[in-house]
Amino acid sequence: MESISPPIGVKFVASSVKEPSCTIGFSGSVPPRLRNFDRICKSNRVFTETKSPAIDFSDPDWKTKYQKDFERRFDIPHLTDVFEHLVPIPSTFCLRSRTPASEDFADGYPSDEKWHGYINNNDKVLLKTIHYSSPTSAGAECIDPSCTWVEQWVHRAGPREKIYFKPEEVKAAIVTCGGLCPGLNDVIRQIVITLEIYGVKDIIGIPFGYRGFYDEGRHEMPLSRKVIQNIHLAGGSLLGVSRGGPDVSDIVNNMEERGINMLFVLGGNGTHAGANAIHNECRKRRMRVAVVGVPKTIDNDILLMDKTFGFDTAVEEAQRAINSAYIEAHSAFRGIGIVKLMGRSSGFIAMHASLASGQVDVCLIPEVPFYLHGPHGVLNHLKCLLESKGSAVVCLAEGAGQNLLEKTNATDPSGNIILGDIGVHIQLETKKYFKEIGFPADVKYIDPTYMIRACRANAADGILCAVLGQNAVHGAFAGYSGITVGTCNTHYVYLPIPEVISYPKQVDLNSRMWHRCLTSTGQPDFV
Ligand X SMILES: O=P(O)(O)OC[C@H]1O[C@](O)(COP(=O)(O)O)[C@@H](O)[C@@H]1O
Ligand Y SMILES: Nc1ncnc2c1ncn2[C@@H]1O[C@H](COP(=O)(O)OP(=O)(O)O)[C@@H](O)[C@H]1O
Give the interface with Mg ion as residue ranges (CB under 5 A): 28, 268-270
Could you give the C-alpha distances from 381 to 387, 391, 393, 414, in angstroms and in order? 10, 11, 11, 38
Q: Is 271 annotated as a binding residue?
A: yes
DSSP assignments along 41-101, one per residue: HH--S-----SS--S-TTSTTHHHHHHHHHHHHT---BGGGT-TT---EE-S---S---GG
270 is in an annotated binding site: yes
Cα separation of the two ends of the chain: 44
Choose between 342 and 517: whose C-beta lies nearer to ligand X.
Answer: 342
Q: Is 377 annotated as a binding residue?
A: no
User: Is position 297 annotated in a ligand binding site?
Assistant: yes
1 is in an annotated binding site: no
Binding at 471: pick from ligand Y, Mg ion, ligand X, none (beta carbon under 5-8 Å per type) = none
277 binds, among ligand X, Mg ion, ligand Y, none (CB under 5 to 8 A by kind): ligand Y
Exactly one of 210, 311, 433, 494 binds ligand Y (CB under 6 A); that residue is: 210
Does the annotation flag 136 for ligand binding? no
482 touches ligand Y (CB under 6 A): no
What is the C-alpha separation between 146 and 148, in angstroms, rounded?
A: 5
Among 20, 25, 117, 390, contact with ligand Y (rule: CB under 6 A): 25
298: partner contacted, choices Mg ion, ligand X, ligand Y, none (Cβ within 5-8 A by kind): ligand X
Rounded alpha-carbon distances, angstroms, from residue 169 to 24, 139, 178, 257, 259: 31, 49, 30, 15, 10
Catalytic residue among 299, 301, 361, 461: 299
Q: Which does 274 bind (CB under 5 to 8 A by kind): Mg ion, ligand X, ligand Y, none?
A: ligand Y
- Is 27 an interacting residue with respect to ligand Y (CB under 6 A)? yes
In degrees rounded to 5, what are phi and psi of residue 93? -90, 100
Q: What is the DSSP letter of 303?
A: T
183 scored as a contact of ligand Y (CB under 6 A): no
How far apart are the C-alpha atoms of 508 and 370, rounded to whole Å?
16
What does the per-residue mask of binding to ligand Y show for 372-411, with x meaning CB under 6 A?
----------------------------------------
Q: Whole-angstrom Cα distance, residue 496 to residue 323?
A: 40
Residue 352's closest CA among 391, 373, 383, 322? 322
Site membership for ligand Y, residue 267 (CB under 6 A): yes
Q: Interface with ligand Y includes 178 (CB under 6 A)?
A: yes
DSSP string, 365-428: -TTS---SSSTTSHHHHHHHHHHHHSEEEEEEETTTTGGGS-----B-TTSPBPPP-HHHHHHH
H-only helix segments in 420-505: 422-436, 449-453, 459-477, 497-501
Residue 299 binds which one of ligand X, ligand Y, Mg ion, none, with CB within 5 to 8 A depending on kind? Answer: ligand X
Which residues fall within 8 angstroms of residue 12, CB to CB, at 6 or more apart?
Answer: 6, 46, 47, 48, 49, 50, 135, 142, 143
**Residue 269 in the binding site for ligand Y (CB under 6 A):** yes
Q: Give whichever of 28 and 274 is closer to Mg ion, judged by the CB atom.
A: 28
Is 267 flagged in the annotation as binding? no
> Do 332 and 204 meet the contact criterion of CB atoms below 8 Å apart?
no
Which residues are near ligand X by CB under 6 A?
178-179, 268, 297-299, 342-344, 398, 412
263 is a site residue for ligand Y (CB under 6 A): no
Q: How far is the CB of 249 from ligand Y (least distance, A)?
A: 11
* Residue 342 labelled as part of a binding site: yes
> Judged by CB, which is closer to ligand Y: 32, or 438?
32
Give the three-class secondary structure for 349.
helix
- SS3 category, 174: strand
343 is in an annotated binding site: yes
By beta-carbon proximity to ligand Y, the closer residue of 80 and 249 is: 249
Write the single-letter amino acid at 461. D
Angle subtended by helix axes 459-477 and 184-198, to nearest 10: 40
Residue 299 is among the residues annotated as catalytic for this protein:
yes
Binding piece for ligand Y, criterion CB under 6 A, among 10-18, 25-33, 48-56, 280-288: 25-33
User: Which partner in Mg ion, ligand X, ligand Y, none is near 342 (CB below 5 to 8 A by kind)?
Assistant: ligand X
Of ligand Y, ligand X, Mg ion, none, which one sits near residue 197, judging by CB under 5 to 8 A according to partner kind? none
Report the binding-site residues for ATP: 179, 243-244, 268-271
Catalytic positions? 299
Report the binding-site residues for Mg(2+): 269
Binding site for ligand Y (CB under 6 A): 25-28, 177-179, 209-210, 243-245, 267-271, 273-274, 277, 297, 414-416
